[in-house]
């Protein structure tokens, strides 16, 4: 995930919002928890990425910091939900829960986030879709493919909205990535990830926006790292990320237009 001090990017925390299908997207059970999103006060506490123990309660920290955080089966809309938010909440509460109470289906995360984008107009919106990960762990390949196709469609939907809205049009970037890879060297391990799974550390990213060169799939022989994303996103927002710990440089090819 992405380490970035969001208070440098937005002057009102409500302008940043975070939607996640699963609480585990925000906790320390991931092998790369030291790179997790940390915002506001939490960012100050963790300055050192070695202090993983602090990540344990990242969700609580984020919520106490005043950031709007919606994960798993959290309802949206607060005390005055819109008609759409009421319907999303009701359907989510009554929905099939193949992953228990820790993670809702992505369809609810997506429609909740899109409604928030349309009505609250945040400057930064973070969406964590979780189904491809879950279905892969379960070994349900058909569902894994369906989930991936849906996210593709939703990214198009988000982009279409962004480019139709005067506040966002031609000044918004979408940065898409994954918090981990999957086993690839040993093909039987594709369902899993973690430090014991060969090649699961390999991830991908994509970026789109009116200021981002449209250069298609990259075949350049370069080594990039996940910890470069924070500065890349900061630069896309027109600021430079500064902190007391070392910060990896931005990915220049994303910004070169």
CB of 147 to Zn ion, least distance (A): 13
In the bound state with Zn ion, the residue whose beta carbon lies nearer, of 115 and 134, is: 134
Q: Which residue has the tokens 């979408």?
A: 174
Q: Residue 139 has which token pair?
A: 């070994």
Identity of the residue, 182 or 235, whose beta carbon is nearer to Zn ion in the bound complex: 182
- Minimum CB separation of residue 140 from Zn ion in Å reads 13
Whole-number minimum distance, CB 173 to Zn ion, in Å? 27
- With beta carbons less than 8 A apart as the criterion, state whether 19 and 108 touch: no
**Residue 150 vs 174, nearer CB to Zn ion:** 150
What is the rounded distance in angstroms from the CA atom of residue 236 to the CA atom of residue 250? 10
Name the residue nearer to Zn ion (CB basis): 3 or 182. Answer: 182
Q: Which of positions 130-189 make contact with Zn ion (CB under 5 A)?
A: 133
Q: Which stretch binds Zn ion (CB under 5 A): 33-41, 127-135, 146-154, 231-239?
A: 127-135
Give the residue among 73, 135, 133, 69 at the shortest CA–CA distance from 101: 73
Which among 129-137, 170-178, 195-203, 215-223 is the span making contact with Zn ion, rule CB under 5 A? 129-137
CB-nearest residue to Zn ion: 133
Pairing of strands 124-128, 173-177: unpaired
Structure tokens given for 80: 């005055």
Q: How many residues does the chain have?
A: 257
d(CA 60, CA 47): 18
Structural contact between residues 174 and 181, judged by C-beta atoms closer than 8 angstroms: no
Which of 85/133 has CB closer to Zn ion? 133
Tokens of 28: 């320390």
Residue 133 Cβ vs Zn ion, minimum distance, rounded to whole Å: 4
CB of 193 to Zn ion, least distance (A): 6
Site residues (vs Zn ion, CB under 5 A): 133
């Amino acid at each position: 995930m992405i380490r970035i001090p969001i208070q440098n990017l937005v002057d009102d925390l409500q302008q940043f919002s975070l939607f996640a299908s699963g609480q585990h997207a925000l906790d320390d059970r991931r092998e790369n928890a030291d790179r997790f999103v940390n915002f506001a006060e939490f960012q100050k506490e963790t300055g050192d990425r070695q202090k993983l123990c602090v990540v344990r309660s990242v969700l609580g920290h984020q919520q106490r910091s005043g950031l709007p955080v919606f994960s798993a089966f959290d309802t949206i809309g607060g005390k005055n939900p819109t008609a759409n938010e009421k319907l999303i909440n009701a359907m989510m509460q009554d929905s099939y829960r193949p992953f228990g109470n820790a993670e809702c289906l992505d369809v609810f995360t997506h429609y909740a986030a899109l409604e928030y984008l349309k009505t609250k107009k945040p400057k930064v919106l973070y969406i964590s879709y979780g189904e491809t990960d879950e279905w892969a762990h379960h070994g349900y390949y058909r569902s894994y493919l369906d989930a991936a196709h849906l996210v593709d469609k939703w990214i198009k939907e988000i982009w279409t909205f962004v480019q139709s809205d005067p506040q966002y049009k031609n000044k918004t970037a979408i940065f898409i990535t994954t918090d981990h890879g999957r086993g690839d060297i040993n093909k039987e391990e594709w369902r899993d990830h973690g430090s014991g799974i060969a090649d699961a550390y390999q991830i991908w990213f994509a970026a789109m926006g009116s200021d981002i060169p449209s250069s298609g799939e990259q075949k350049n022989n370069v080594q990039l790292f996940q910890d470069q994303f924070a500065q890349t996103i900061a630069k896309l927002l027109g600021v430079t990320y500064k902190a007391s710990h070392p910060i990896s440089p931005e990915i220049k090819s994303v910004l070169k237009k």
